[in-house]
Amino acid sequence: MIRRLAAEGQGKGGKPPPKRRKPKPPPPPPIPELQRPPVLLVIAVVLTAVLEVLDMTIVNVAIPHMLGAFGATPDQITWVLTSYIVAAAVIMPLTGYLSNWLGRRRLLLLSISGFVLTSVLCGMAWDLESMVFFRLAQGVFGAPLVPLSQAILLDAFPREKHGQALAIFGMGIMVAPVIGPALGGYLTEAYSWRMVFYINIPLGMFALLISAGYLPKRAIKDIRTDWLGMALLVIAVGALQFVLDQGQMRDWFNSKAVIVGAIIAVFTTASFFLRGWNKPDNIIDLSLLKDRNFVAGTIAITLYGISLLGWMALMPLFAQRLLGYPADVAGTLFIPRGIVSAITLAVTGGLLIRIFDARWLVGGGIVLTAVGTLMMAHYNLNVDFWSIANPSMVSGVGTGLFFVPLTAVAFASIASSKYDEASGVYNLMRGIGGSAGIAVVSWLFVRQTHIHFAELTAHVTPFNKELLPYLAERGLDPYSPQAAPAIAYEIGRQAQMLAFNDLFWFIGIATLLITPVLFFMTRPKNVNLVPAH
């Protein structure tokens, strides 16, 4: 037995058998390279967002021309603006539901196609009623464009690249409203007010073709429609928009219609939240509101909408009505801010957000936006172009610092499957903030103008030493028939100038009041997104 074992322990020729080698561990699987989204797809989805946002401001400059073309009153012509805003606000929070129901690709292509078609119809409108109807339809189709574009970009880029994605998106979403008045003024002066709608055709068709070729298909979910929740949401948002749009024109709560609208908005909003808070199949997943950063970011973007859109509503009035600039020149006042905002957005998304804590960047954006606006609060009737443009550029730097870090933090812990829904809510609140800013600024402008007019009129007495020299320079005396109208005209201009200064103060202070929201934000867990503390 021992001999046999010894023989087996030797190979041929009495040599011991070779030692068996341990198998090498398999090489680790290669780390998959992050695929960059197609450049044309990025361009297409950003362009769709630009279309929707641009259309909210490009029409403003053409409103005086439409007023004459349709024979409408100033109160009636505002429905060209408000009809679009109301329709978009009602549909926008339903983006997540519609995306799940129709599929993201199908919804985007349908929205772009409908937006282009309704733009053609707006350009062909023959009276005010047809224009308002087509604008309502345009708002319905345009509402999902911004949330879908943001969601597609966030989904296409990995989380550590979200800063870059949001910078690209922000160049469209924040710069387009600033460039809109300049483009609208040029098209209106050089061609016709109808061109502000026809410009959407080539842009929309290009975005449609590229999106159809590059946007991947996603499975359509079989979902149950929460009809009651949808009805409550639509009524709540519609009533709120009615109050914001019509409040100033109807003297706010001295109007029964505004009071009824406010009651409906409060009741349906409360019902929507109480009913849907723990309801898993609610039309909007309210569990998004359990994310602290998302809630804080949504509040901040709402308040910033008041500041940005309030300022944008003031500047055309200031430049055209008070300073007498033509529409195309008035529009160019927005270009410096737009260029500076675009550059700052690119630097912030590509570099700064990887170095500094996003909360500090947002805070810096708030301060610079406020400082730029407060610099305008000392204007007089002799202010020149660059005295307006320079403070605007300071605010533009603030806009670039604010948008990317805020959105990145707000969406840092949102699941990718919820991007469509979260983007709809986020952009809805940004739009509501803008509507509130326009409404409040319009009301305060009228109020402050009346107050300053009354105060200045009190100084027009025979004992005022400045009155006689002023009239003498114009070849008038206190007993001339033209004296009273001349004095009233000048007092009106000065009263408006003082009212604009008051509003610049108001917007600047309101912007600074966003700062406390930053203390409710926490540092995102994804340190690649915001590495600094």
Does 312 score more than 80 pLDDT?
no
DSSP class of residue 377 equals G
Which is more confident, 423 or 394? 394
Measured in degrees and rounded to the nearest 5, phi and psi for residue 467 equal -70, -50
How far apart CA 102 and CA 220 sit, in angstroms, is 6
**Of the listed ranges 38-42, 299-303, 342-346, the one predicted with least confidence:** 38-42
Residue with tokens 């129709």: 102
Nearest to 92 by CA among 236, 292, 217: 236
Looking at residue 504, its pLDDT comes to: 92
Angle between helices 483-512 and 419-457 (to 10 degrees): 140
Least confident of 244-253, 350-359, 427-436: 244-253
What pLDDT is stored for residue 1 in this prediction? 45
Assign residue 103 a region (left: φ > 0; alpha: ψ between -120 and 50; beta: otherwise): left
Handedness of CA 276, 279, 282, 285 (dihedral sign): positive
pLDDT recorded at residue 509: 92
> pLDDT value at position 529?
45
Nearest alpha-carbon partner for 179 in 409, 345, 340, 397:
340
pLDDT digits (tens, 9 = 90+) for 143-161: 888 888 777 777 777 766 7
- Confidence at residue 316, expressed as pLDDT on a 0 to 100 scale: 74
Q: Using an 8 Å Cβ cutoff, are 439 and 244 in contact? A: yes
pLDDT at 193: 82
* pLDDT beyond 50 at 526: yes
How high is the pLDDT of residue 5? Answer: 46
Q: What is the per-residue pLDDT for 287?
A: 78
392, 372 contact by CB (below 8 A) = yes
* pLDDT at 533 (0 to 100): 31
Mean residue pLDDT of the chain comes to 78
Q: pLDDT tens across 252-279, in order?
A: 778 888 888 889 889 988 888 888 787 7
With the C-alpha atoms ordered 230, 231, 234, 237, is the resulting torsion angle positive or negative?
negative
pLDDT of residue 329: 74
pLDDT band at residue 14 using 50, 70 and 90 as cut-offs:
low
Tens digits of residue pLDDT in 23-61: 555 554 443 434 555 677 777 777 777 777 777 667 776
DSSP helix/strand/coil, 291? coil
Using pLDDT thresholds of 50, 70 and 90, give the confidence band for residue 17.
Answer: low
What average pLDDT does range 92-100 have in this prediction?
79
Q: How confident is the model at residue 502 (pLDDT cuts 50, 70, 90)?
A: very high
**Of 138-152, 206-220, 378-392, which range is least confident?**
206-220
Q: pLDDT band at residue 18, thresholds of 50, 70 and 90?
A: low
User: In this predicted model, what pLDDT tens digit does every residue of 458-479 receive, in sequence order?
Assistant: 777 766 677 767 666 666 666 6
Lowest average pLDDT, out of 70-79, 179-188, 424-433, 448-457, goes to 70-79
Q: What is the pLDDT of residues 167-178, one digit of tens each?
A: 777 777 666 766
pLDDT of residue 403: 83
- Is the pLDDT at 505 greater than 90, yes or no? yes
More confident: 370 or 324: 370
Identity of residue 22:
K
